[in-house]
């Protein structure tokens, strides 16, 4: 009787998440002995520190609901019927159609819909943050640090959430799913693009 309630218990349930952080300090002494003696470039080109944080995770689960508000729709803001496979192959997913919107149908009679809870996964996340920095000593405890921070350094497009509310597509003012007027199945939020900042800090 309650088989349709089987599934993730919360929209914050993420099945897989990987976070990798690393840092390194480079040296250029061996390759710049001559330059150090003549131009002192070794001190400038060596000693740079790099840090990165890589994050990848699968999307969280979400619920498809009926929001048609039609007179013959008994299950307003409730679960629809599941009539087909809702997951699209990766190559068929797009910004306008992230999952199979035809897999769900509005219930037209006084009963609960057959769609289990949390049947659609939101888009996942793939992000890399990178930092390059170096500290230059001026005198004893006096020094300055120059750094560059790059968030989403590869400028990867991260889709965040998808609209999962079924609307009345027979209404000419709404139209077919995946449009701005009827965003059912459409990606409606995006992650931040690449951001860069340069900083200079004095330490004493």
Domain boundaries, the chain: 3-203
Q: Where are the alpha helices (DSSP H) in the chain?
A: 33-38, 42-45
* Residue 2: alpha-carbon gap to chain centroid: 32
What's the chain's length in residues? 204
pLDDT, one tens digit per residue, over 86-145 is 999 989 999 999 999 999 988 877 777 888 888 888 999 999 999 999 888 888 788 888
CA distance 134 to 145: 6
Cβ 76 vs Cβ 67: under 8 Å: yes
180: Cβ–Cβ under 8 A, 6 or more apart, which residues? Answer: none
8-state DSSP, 123:
P
pLDDT digits (tens, 9 = 90+) for 8-49: 556 666 778 888 888 776 655 544 444 444 445 455 556 788
Question: Beta partners for 187?
Answer: 162
This prediction's pTM: 0.72
From residue 52, how far is each of 45, 195, 199, 203 by CA, in Å? 20, 14, 17, 23
């Amino acid at each position: 009787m309650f088989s349709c309630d089987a599934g993730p218990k919360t929209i914050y349930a993420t099945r897989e998440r990987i976070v990798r952080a690393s840092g390194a300090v480079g040296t250029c002494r061996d390759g710049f002995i001559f330059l150090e003696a003549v131009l002192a470039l070794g001190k400038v080109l060596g000693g740079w520190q790099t840090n990165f944080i890589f994050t990848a995770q699968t999307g969280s689960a979400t619920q498809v609901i009926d929001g048609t508000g039609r007179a013959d729709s008994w299950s307003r803001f409730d679960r629809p019927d599941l009539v087909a496979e809702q997951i699209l192959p990766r190559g068929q997913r797009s910004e306008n159609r992230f999952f199979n919107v035809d897999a769900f149908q509005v219930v037209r009679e006084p009963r609960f819909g057959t769609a289990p809870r949390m049947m659609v996964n939101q888009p996942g996340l793939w992000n890399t943050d990178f930092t390059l920095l170096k500290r230059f000593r001026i005198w004893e405890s006096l020094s300055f640090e120059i750094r560059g921070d790059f968030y989403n350094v590869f400028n990867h497009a991260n889709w965040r959430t998808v609209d999962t509310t079924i609307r009345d597509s027979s209404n000419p003012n709404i139209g077919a799913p995946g449009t701005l007027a009827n965003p059912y199945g459409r990606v409606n939020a995006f992650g931040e693009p690449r951001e860069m900042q340069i900083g200079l800090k004095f330490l004493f």
